[in-house]
Amino acid sequence: MKLLFSNPVSFAAAARRHRGINPPDHKQASLRSVLMDMPLPRLLYFPLCLTGKEPAYPLVKPGYSVLKGQLLAASTDGNDNLVHASTSGRIVALASHPRPDPFGSNGETLILEADGEDRWIALHPATDWQTLPATEIRSRICRAGIDERNDCGLSRWNHARQPEILIINALETEPYLTADQALIRSHAKELLTGAGILQLACGALRCIIAITSEKSDAIAALYTALQESGQQAGIEVMVLPPRYPITDRQLIDAVTGGRVPVEQPESERGAVLADVTTTMAVRDAVIDGRPMLSRVTTVCGNTLRTPKNFRALLGTPVGFLLELCGIDYQNLDRLVMGGSLTGFTLHSFDVPIVKSSTCVIAAAAGEFPAPVTAGPCIRCDACVPSCPVGLLPQNLYQAVKNERQDLMTGLRLDDCIECGACAYVCPDHIPLVQYFRAGKAVLSREARQIELSEYRSKRFEARRQRLARDTAMRRGSRRRSVARPENPDIQDSGLKTFSRTRAREEIAAAVARVQQRRRNAGKATARPRDPDQDGRS
C-alpha cells in the first residue's frame, strides 16, 4: 500500500508546460450530504441515438413487459450502444422525446412505465473474479453496456504489448462536479476491487488512483480501504494539486514523470485510463453480473434547497431529481447538464439521465455570467496560455470563422477537448467552444463526404470491372459454342460464319439425300418373281 504525493515543484513545471486555469470550484454545497439512492420514478426514458454513438435498434415493442437488466436495444455491431431496462415494467411507447445534446433536439426514445416491483433478470455473478481470464472479464464488461472505447479505454489498447500502468482518474477538476468524490467517500473498498479487475483485464503492471489534494475526505477513505484490503496491495494513490483541465496526456505525464508526444496514439502511450464511475460499473458487471443501470450524478445550483449526489437510474428525467432537491422554479434562470464549462443548456425537464450525465446544474440568476455580445478578437493571446493541449485558439477561431478547412486541419482542431478554458479567459467573451464545435462538425461532414465519395468511386469501379468481365465471358462463351459445336460429326470450319445461302444449300442437300434413300429402299422392295416357283405352282 502506497500513498504518493507528487512533487509540487515538478507539477508546477508541468502546469506551466501544459497550461490551464483555476476557476472557483462551487463544490461544497453538494458535498454536505452523503450519496443518496433515489426513489423509483413512474416513467423512464431511454434514447436510442446519442451524440457520438451508433444508433441503437429496439429489441422490444410497446406493450412488452420487461425485467430489470433486460436488454431493450442494441446497435448493429452489438457493443457500441446497449440499452438495458433500469427497472421492471412495461414499454408504453416508442416515440420522439427530448434527448441530452447541445442542440436541444428530439430523438427516438423507448418509454418504460415502472411497475414498482423492481424484478431482476437472471444474473450470473462471478464467485472468484481473480481466476477469470482477461477475455472473460472483457466480455462481461461489453455485455454490461460499458462502452470500452469511451469509458475505460481497453479496446484502444494494443494488446501486442503489455501496458505499464493503469490510471484511475479521480481528479474531477471541473467546477460543480462532485460525483466521483461522493462515490469514493461511500464505496472506496468497491473502487479498489474494480481497479483490481481492470488491472487484470488489461494486464497492467501497476495501478495508480490519481486524485487532487482538496479531496481530503476521499483520500482518507482510500487510505483506510487500502489498509484493510490486502489483496489490493499493489494499488497506489497519487495526490496532485488541483488545476483545470487535466487532460489524459497531462495526467500520464504527471503520473509517469515523462512527456507524451501529441502525435503518439493512445495505444502506444504505455498507460490505460479509466474514470471512477466506469471502475465501479466494471466491478458490478464482473462480480455481480449486473449491467450498467445507474450512475452517480451531481444535482446542484443555487435554486435547490438541498443539493445532493444521487445514484440516479438511467432514464430518469432531470425534473424528477430537481424535485427531490426542492427546486425553486421562480428563481431558475438556466438548466445545464454537465459542468459549468463543458456542459450545455437543457430546454426541457424531461431530458433523461444517460451514462455520460455527470452533473445537472439548476442555476439561479447571477450564478452564471450574464450573456453579453461578443466583441471582435483583439489577438491579445490570453487564450493561448490557458489551452491545455497547446493549441492556438485565436488562430483556430479565425480559421473556423472564415471556413478555412485546410487551416482547421493544420492547426489541429480535432485535438481540442472543448474544455472551455479559452472562452473563460477571453476578454471579449467570444464563445470559442461553440465555434470549435461548429468547425469540428464541418470537418466531420467533409470527412463523411470524402468517405462516401471514395465508397461510390470504389463501387463504380467494381461495377465497371464486373461488366467488362461479364462481357468478356459472354464473348468467350459464344466463340466456344460456335467453334466447338455439340455434334462431334460436324467438322466444317465454315460454321464460324453464318450464311443463308449455304444454309439453304445444306438443307436442300439433306432433303435430296433423304429422297434418294427412300427411292433406293423402294427399288429393293419391288424385286422380280422366280419362274420356277410359278411352274411348280
The pLDDT tens digits of the residues spanning 214-232 come to 999 999 999 999 888 765 5
Under the banding of pLDDT at 50, 70 and 90, the label for residue 152 is: very low
Under the banding of pLDDT at 50, 70 and 90, the label for residue 150 is: very low
Lay out the sheet containing 2-5: strands in order across. 2-5, 235-240, 206-212, 165-169, 271-275
CA angle 229, 231, 234 (to 5 degrees): 95
Helices (H), 203-237: 216-228
For residue 151, pLDDT over 50 is answered with no
For residue 308, pLDDT over 90 is answered with yes
Map grid coordinates 478547412 to a residue. 405
Please state the three-class secondary structure of 292-324 as a single string: CCEEEEEEECCCECCCEEEEEECCCEHHHHHHH
The arithmetic mean of pLDDT across residues 171-191, rounded, is 94
pLDDT on residue 10: 40
pLDDT on residue 4: 54
- Nearby residues of 108 by Cβ (< 8 Å), 6 or more positions away: 47, 48, 49, 94, 95, 96, 97
The arithmetic mean of pLDDT across residues 502-526, rounded, is 83
Dist CA 21 CA 44 (whole Å): 38
Under the banding of pLDDT at 50, 70 and 90, the label for residue 162 is: confident
Question: 179-186 and 216-228 are packed helices; what angle lies between their axes, rounded to 10 degrees?
Answer: 30
Dist CA 464 CA 488 (whole Å): 38
Question: 188-202 and 134-143 are packed helices; what angle lies between their axes, rounded to 10 degrees?
Answer: 120
- Nearby residues of 464 by Cβ (< 8 Å), 6 or more positions away: none
pLDDT on residue 49: 86
For residue 487, pLDDT over 60 is answered with no
Q: What is the largest CA-CA distance in the chain?
A: 151
| Residues β-bridged to residue 196 | none
User: How many angstroms separate the Cα of 192 from the Cα of each of 120, 134, 219, 282, 393?
Assistant: 26, 18, 13, 11, 39
- Nearby residues of 413 by Cβ (< 8 Å), 6 or more positions away: 391, 396, 399, 400, 436, 439, 440, 443
3-state helix, strand, coil in the chain (%, to 5): 40, 20, 40
pLDDT on residue 371: 77
Cis peptide before 245 (omega within 30 of 0): yes
Structure-block grid coordinates of residue 241: 494539486
pLDDT on residue 495: 45
**Percent of residues, the chain, with pLDDT higher than 90:** 50
Q: What is the pLDDT of residues 21-78, one digit of tens each?
A: 888 989 999 999 999 999 999 999 999 988 667 788 999 999 999 999 999 999 876 6
Dist CA 423 CA 245 (whole Å): 13
The arithmetic mean of pLDDT across residues 443-468, rounded, is 90
For residue 533, pLDDT over 80 is answered with no
CA angle 446, 388, 199 (to 5 degrees): 90
Q: Are the beta carbons of 111 and 97 closer than 8 angstroms?
A: yes
pTM exceeds 0.85: no
Phi/psi of residue 90, nearest 5 degrees: -130, 135
Report all structural domains of the chain as residue ranges with CATH numbers, in order of start.
1-33+120-292 (3.40.50), 374-483 (1.10.1060)
Top mean-pLDDT range of 182-186, 198-202, 266-270, 528-532? 182-186
Start-to-end C-alpha separation, the chain: 140
Dist CA 101 CA 357 (whole Å): 11
Q: What one-character-per-residue DSSP string does 431-477 give?
A: -HHHHHHHHHHHHHHHHHHHHHHHHHHHHHHHHHHHHHHHHHHHHHH
Dist CA 53 CA 74 (whole Å): 11
pLDDT on residue 80: 67
> What is the total residue count of the chain?
537
Q: What is the pLDDT of residues 229-286, one digit of tens each?
A: 765 557 889 999 888 988 888 888 888 776 666 556 555 667 888 999 999 999 999 9
pLDDT on residue 7: 42
Q: How far is CA 258 from the centre of its chain?
A: 29
